[in-house]
Structure 1
Amino acid sequence: MANNDLKTASVLAFERKLDPSDALFSAGKWDDRNQGETWANVTVREKSVRGTISHRKAGQGAGAAKLSGEIESPNPQTIDTATLPNSADTLRARFTLRVLGGAGTPSACNNAAYQAKLQATVQDYVNTTGFAELARRYATNLANGRFLWRNRMGAEQIEIQVRQLAQGVATQCWQFDALSFSLRHLDTSSPELDALAQAIEHGLSGQSHTLLEVIAYARIGDGQEVYPSQELILDKGDKKGQKSKTLYKVGNVAALHSQKIGNALRTIDTWYPRGEADEDLGPIAVEPYGSVTSQGKAYRQPRDKADFYNLLDAWVLKGKAPEIGDRHFVMATLIRGGVFGEKD
């Protein structure tokens, strides 16, 4: 039942419940992936290249002659790069993933009445629906190797090994052929996938401590380039002589940002509104407004009341439970974490 006096807390924050580490890169031979050998770290190094001017330029009339001179000039660049050694054909990416309970419990909330209603709403979801569907989708994104991003493209073989750890010892192990799973459809089922999903579900529901070690092996070819995260340099200062591409590294080991891995794991939203042109898009990452920055588009628009805030307010403040897909979306956003208070 709705409470007309209840308002959204002005301070409302949630901690993320899927907590991945950075993924560090190493290299070796495909046939040695289960032999226990120490794999060599993939390092980041600089190289300078003599490129050409290829980006769009405008020039007409008197400016055409100047433009002609510019595009005929070389374009020297210094960039970061990361490659496998010439004696290694396989990329190894390793990270750990903590799955925490307490989804829907705010880490900060300055309105006790709102918090009580919110937690009652979440508990009703847990009792009637549970985390099984969300856990299965998170597990699928581990099994299909989505977190490898560009490193997944063109790989000849990809094997994903997942171990559940307790006191540093593996208690359960699962192995997946990543290329046998689709990136567009999250309805695949197998005994191994179901068991991994159950472990994630137990972590989200607080039934057990869930710590997973994830190791991906991607066979891409001797000496081939690999793709760590690229750093976003906000303050470039004097651009002259600066690198045009800076790759992420831990020490000098090439790595993927934990945020990039988290984005891949939560790419489970197939419930967003879509038009005919969006039918082939597949799942998008769980974001309050359904934002896909690579397309410059937000699929969950407030005008359609399909965004997280409208759905949450209707559910908690007005007692109007959304459709089952949107309920999953709201809970997945709370698992994602963030600051969701209503400003004055």
Structure 2
Amino acid sequence: MSHKIPDVLSFQRGTIITDGLMSSIILNKNGENKTVPVKVIRHGIRGANSYPKGDNVSNIQRTETAKTHPESIGLSVIFSFKTIPAGSLMFGCSDPTFRSITDGFIDRFFVRGVPEFDEVCHRYARNILNGRWLWRNRILGETQVTASVGDKKYLSNGSRLRDFDVYTEDEQGLARAIATGLLSSDNASPAIKVEGRVLFGFTGEVEVFPSQNMVGNKPDGFARSLYKVDMISRRDLISIMGSANKNEASAGDFAADMIDMGRAALRDQKIGNAIRTIDTWYLDFSGTPIPVEPNGASLDANTVFRKGNQNASALLSNMDEMHPETTFNPGAAFLIAILIRGGVFSEKK
């Protein structure tokens, strides 16, 4: 029986993820690896206009770039991850009956040995170990990922990027740690420390790719803003830019040569999006997993893949009818992943 979505229905995120801090990997005098933070630098460039007006082909801009240390042999990105108890996922619900239905679904499906629950945990584990969350940085060299839970380390050897089957022993072990957090009742979820290393195969200063910031109403001549932590204070930045404009030159013409803006990082949201790119259960699946989203929205494909009775609202309305069976239920697996993702699903009268 289908149940109407309540006027108020929301779930909090079932994952806690930190920003991914970026460091250069260099060799010290003893031949041992050490790391130093990757800095975001604001600087000027002179490029070419793709669509010049008249004879003006120059494109002078100020932009931000992140590069590794001149003596680096690779890039390191570190973040921490944990899951929260499934019983804490529901944040708000205005209908006691629907709350009871949701609790029943969680009681039935958030159980070790239930194929749909196990599969979601395994897919999360694979996307951590295969380095999908490194995004464009993966192309820079050989990727190695280590996930540590206490003294136990899980390695990326054998983790694949484009499919979800035949899980390695390390992926299975990490999946158990993820499941432990979801099944706990006292917020004693295992903390998972993840490090991704990209080894260049040479020594040198290499441009790397932190998250980008979306900036509305950018000033003329400003190209892009990169995400950074431990950033320069607004007062100091204004002071530097102000001293550069004493002669009433525009910011696009001149500013301090190179400004250290802060430490480069991948935003937690971007890491989380990659880890939950596990949805292969949508209709017309063509071999490319998409992020778990209520309507199957994919920015890469610029479309939505879950319409009608395949979207989250439709499946939530019918979750009272779902029960673990011998046959794998793709809709139930998607719902498990949606509850872990979190979101607002309220429907107005």
TM-score (norm 1): 0.83
- Distance change >3 Å, CA 342–CA 93, structure 1 → 2: same
Secondary structure of the structure 2 residue equivalent to 1:289: coil
Alignment of 1:172 with 2:152, yes or no, is yes
Q: Is contact 1:314–1:321 with CA below 8 Å preserved after alignment? A: no
In the TM superposition, residue 175 of structure 1 has moved relative to its aligned partner by 2.2
Matching residue of 2:20: 23
In the TM superposition, residue 235 of structure 1 has moved relative to its aligned partner by 3.8
Using the alignment, how far apart are the partners of 1:137 and 1:95 within structure 2? 18
- Distance change >3 Å, CA 211–CA 69, structure 1 → 2: same
Matching residue of 1:259: 269
CA RMSD of aligned residues (A): 2.4
Q: Is contact 2:63–2:224 with CA below 8 Å preserved after alignment? A: yes
Using the alignment, how far apart are the partners of 1:194 and 1:244 within structure 2? 43
Using the alignment, how far apart are the partners of 2:53 and 2:184 within structure 1? 65
Matching residue of 2:295: 289
- Distance change >3 Å, CA 314–CA 103, structure 1 → 2: same
Using the alignment, how far apart are the partners of 2:297 and 2:69 within structure 1? 38
Matching residue of 2:95: 111
Matching residue of 2:213: 231
Alignment of 1:163 with 2:154, yes or no, is no
Q: Is contact 2:7–2:94 with CA below 8 Å preserved after alignment? A: yes
Matching residue of 1:308: 312
Q: Output aligned runs, 1:75-86, within 5 Å.
A: 75-86=59-70
Using the alignment, how far apart are the partners of 2:68 and 2:209 within structure 1? 10
Question: Share of identical aligned residues, percent?
Answer: 30
In the TM superposition, residue 122 of structure 1 has moved relative to its aligned partner by 2.4
Secondary structure of the structure 2 residue equivalent to 1:136: helix
Matching residue of 1:248: 227
Residue deviations 1:68-117, cap 9 Å, x none?
616x4311111100011110021010000011112574111111111011
Q: Is contact 1:25–1:42 with CA below 8 Å preserved after alignment? A: yes
Q: Is contact 2:5–2:316 with CA below 8 Å preserved after alignment? A: no
In the TM superposition, residue 176 of structure 1 has moved relative to its aligned partner by 2.1
Alignment of 1:325 with 2:304, yes or no, is no
Secondary structure of the structure 1 residue equivalent to 2:173: helix
Using the alignment, how far apart are the partners of 1:100 and 1:30 within structure 2? 38
Q: Is contact 2:101–2:319 with CA below 8 Å preserved after alignment? A: no
- Distance change >3 Å, CA 103–CA 326, structure 1 → 2: farther
TM-score (norm 2): 0.82
Matching residue of 2:258: none
Using the alignment, how far apart are the partners of 1:139 and 1:320 within structure 2? 25
Matching residue of 2:137: 151
Matching residue's letter, 1:256: L
Q: Is contact 2:86–2:106 with CA below 8 Å preserved after alignment? A: no
Aligned residues: 308
Matching residue's letter, 1:312: L
- Distance change >3 Å, CA 211–CA 320, structure 1 → 2: closer
In the TM superposition, residue 158 of structure 1 has moved relative to its aligned partner by 1.7
Using the alignment, how far apart are the partners of 2:336 and 2:156 within structure 1? 27
Matching residue's letter, 2:82: R
Matching residue's letter, 1:250: V
Residue deviations 1:219-264, cap 9 Å, x none?
124211100000011243xx323x2111000011100000000001
Secondary structure of the structure 2 residue equivalent to 1:53: strand
- Distance change >3 Å, CA 105–CA 247, structure 1 → 2: closer
Instruction: Give the counterpart of 1:101 among 69, 85, 89.
Output: 85
- Distance change >3 Å, CA 68–CA 159, structure 1 → 2: closer
Secondary structure of the structure 1 residue equivalent to 2:151: strand
Matching residue's letter, 1:212: I
Residue deviations 1:18-47, cap 9 Å, x none?
111000001123799x95x65110000022
Matching residue's letter, 2:90: P
Using the alignment, how far apart are the partners of 1:200 and 1:216 within structure 2? 18
Q: Is contact 2:229–2:264 with CA below 8 Å preserved after alignment? A: yes
Using the alignment, how far apart are the partners of 2:28 and 2:120 within structure 1? 34
Secondary structure of the structure 1 residue equivalent to 2:198: strand
Instruction: Give the counterpart of 1:11 among 8, 15, 32.
Output: 8
Q: Is contact 2:45–2:62 with CA below 8 Å preserved after alignment? A: yes
Q: Is contact 1:104–1:331 with CA below 8 Å preserved after alignment? A: no
